[in-house]
Amino acid sequence: MGDVDDHEDMTESMREVMSLDGDVDKLATYYARWADEYDDDVASHGYGLPEMMVQTLQRAIGEVRPDSPAYTRSPNVLDAGCGTGLVGAALHAAGWSTIDGVDLSHEMADNAAVRGIYRSVRGGVDLTVPPTDDLRHSAPIVTVGGVFTVGHVPPEALEQMAELVEPGGILVVSTRRAYHEETDFHAARERLESSGRLHQLVHLPDAPYTMDSTGDYWAWQTMGSGLT
């Protein structure tokens, strides 16, 4: 792991969760234990991610054609990997009013629901496998904040995230610095871009993420019916 992730300010929980190698059972168990402390732990570590996700989305909306479903009406947002709802809270504060959340962890999702800002929240959703019919192409805007991080989902899951978005909609993703340095995230994204499934709208490199690490922020438009 790179220097940024060896920073002494990182909490023990952050360190441990990044060592779980993307094992969904271990991640679910870990987040079940961490759920009630998560907000205090990340908030005390200068969590810039939620605000950056909103800024990335706002820039992306400025880039899409007016016939995009993310542009032409008050769009609903699916917050994938919503955790306890910190990204949802930032979206809500910025004016988005119809937000659904899904997450692997029931306990994290339950805490998101308590905020009272999500229209619906569902735990037990594994974002590394093809989405179920009710989630596939289900939202014009999908946010995935803090999920493409060390020990969580593989870069190939970007394809599953894209499947959540309505054709012509917007996918917003963060990548922790150590993650996009150490994985083949760029290869995964370039495959989707060169095949025409994702059209890159925004890339903000080395932006605020946590106190101990920067991150990159990405937004794409999903292309056409059936993502062709």
Ligand X SMILES: C[S@@+](CC[C@H](N)C(=O)[O-])C[C@H]1O[C@@H](n2cnc3c(N)ncnc32)[C@H](O)[C@@H]1O
Distance, in Å, from the CA atom of 29 to the CA atom of 15, rounded to the nearest integer, reads 15
**Contact region with ligand X (CB under 6 A), list: 145-153, 178-186, 210-218, 219-227:** 145-153
Among 52, 99, 127, 223, binds ligand X (CB under 6 A): 127
Decide if residue 105 touches ligand X (CB under 6 A).
Answer: yes
Residue 105 in contact with residue 35, Cβ under 8 Å? yes
Cβ at position 225, least distance to ligand X in Å: 26
Decide if residue 24 touches ligand X (CB under 6 A).
Answer: yes
Q: Which residue number, 31 or 118, has a Cβ lying nearer to ligand X? A: 31
Among 87, 162, 172, 178, binds ligand X (CB under 6 A): 87
Sheet holding 198-210, edge to edge: 120-122, 99-102, 77-80, 139-148, 165-176, 213-222, 198-210
Distance, in Å, from the CA atom of 102 to the CA atom of 83, rounded to the nearest integer, reads 8
Spell out the residues 6+ positions from residue 26 whose beta carbon is closer than 8 angstroms to its own.
20
Spell out the residues 6+ positions from residue 117 whose beta carbon is closer than 8 angstroms to its own.
85, 88, 89, 92, 99
**Contact region with ligand X (CB under 6 A), list: 4-12, 67-75, 114-122, 146-154:** 146-154
Decide if residue 147 touches ligand X (CB under 6 A).
Answer: yes
* Residues making contact with ligand X (CB under 6 A): 24, 27, 31, 49, 81-83, 86-87, 103-105, 108, 125-128, 145-147, 149, 152-153
